Amino acid sequence: MRIDLHIHSTASDGSLSPGAVVTTALAGGLHIIAIADHDTTAGVMAAQVAAEGSIHVIPALELSTYDAGAEYHVLGYYVDIANPVLVEHAGRAAGAREIRMHGMIDRLVAIGIPVTFEDVLAAAGTKPDSLGRPHLAKALLQRGHVTTVSEAFDRYIGDQGPGFVPTALITPFDAIDIIHGAGGVAVWAHPRPEALRTLLSPLVAHGLDGIECYRPRLTHADTERISATAAEAGLFVTGGSDWHGEWQGRLGDFAVERDDVSRFLDIGGI
Ligand code: AMP
Ligand code: ZN
Ligand code: FE
Ligand code: FE
């Protein structure tokens, strides 16, 4: 059994439509996937329809959160995608992301890097539910301001860049509440070691359910450390590629096994 619990689609900043994610995951030999787009579940149903039982698609999303000026991502799995509070949050996040995109564009224009909202939409293809920095990076590439997407992040829109504007809608604690309210389980995505030390206890006290443990390029030692931390805190672990497109390699090249994430799959009755 080959499993990937963290994949993005064109509902946010992924490069493949939900349906194409499913066919690509199938071709890559995956059996269970989760579509976990930034602040939206808009891609989940299309993926489940495309899968038609061929591959198991777990409903998920990855909530962007802020606490004391730092960004944290919280994954929600097994959520009811029709939950009103979840749907309302997704709508607010989409609006905030659009306003923030205009803010980043204004900053870039002010430092002599002309780019427009239309450029960003053109770079994104069809308008995603959740606009993000990768769409802006692609627009900067297409306008010839940079030669690679990573150069766009390094020079302009990385967290410390002159064009960066954060969106600070909710804290990780709010994210846990929203996910639980929608019947899901909350998982801390790609935690930084120093953040784990300070934020894990309060998050666990607030009901955090799991930690993302298995990821591409994470060393065996790091994986062991996170899995020990999770066991100590009574949390389950998950794993996923955080795949956005072909530039990250072939979907399916990274996979976790059932044994790695059995507690998580048991919760979903999978
Ligand atoms: P946003 O949610 O709009 O702030 O965008 C965050 C997304 O940008 C992440 O999920 C990644 O897909 C992408 N990203 C962040 N940093 C980099 C980077 N240095 N190079 C390429 N993509 C990045
Ligand atoms: Zn992303
Ligand atoms: Fe993330
Ligand atoms: Fe992600």
Structure confidence at residue 68 (pLDDT): 92
* Ligand 1 contacts CB of residue 38 (under 6 A): yes
Are the beta carbons of 105 and 137 closer than 8 angstroms? no
CATH hierarchy code of domain 2-79+171-267 = 3.20.20.140
Q: What is the pLDDT of residues 151-170, one digit of tens each?
A: 999 999 999 999 999 998 99
> Mean per-residue pLDDT for 119-141?
95
Percent residues over pLDDT 90 in the chain: 97
> What CATH number does the domain located at 91-157 have?
1.10.150.650
In the structure, ligand 2 is a single-atom ion and the residues with CB under 5 Å from it are: 13
Residue ranges of the domains in the chain? Answer: 2-79+171-267, 91-157
- For residue 244 and ligand 1, the question of a CB distance below 6 A is answered with yes
Atom of ligand 1 nearest to the CA of 71: 4
Q: What is the average pLDDT score of the chain?
A: 97
**Nearest in space to 47 (alpha carbons), one of 7, 98, 78:** 7
Q: Is 28 helix (H, G, I), strand (E, B) or coil?
A: coil
Task: With 0.85 as the threshold, say if the pTM is over it.
Answer: yes
pLDDT in tens, 204-227: 999 999 999 999 999 999 999 999
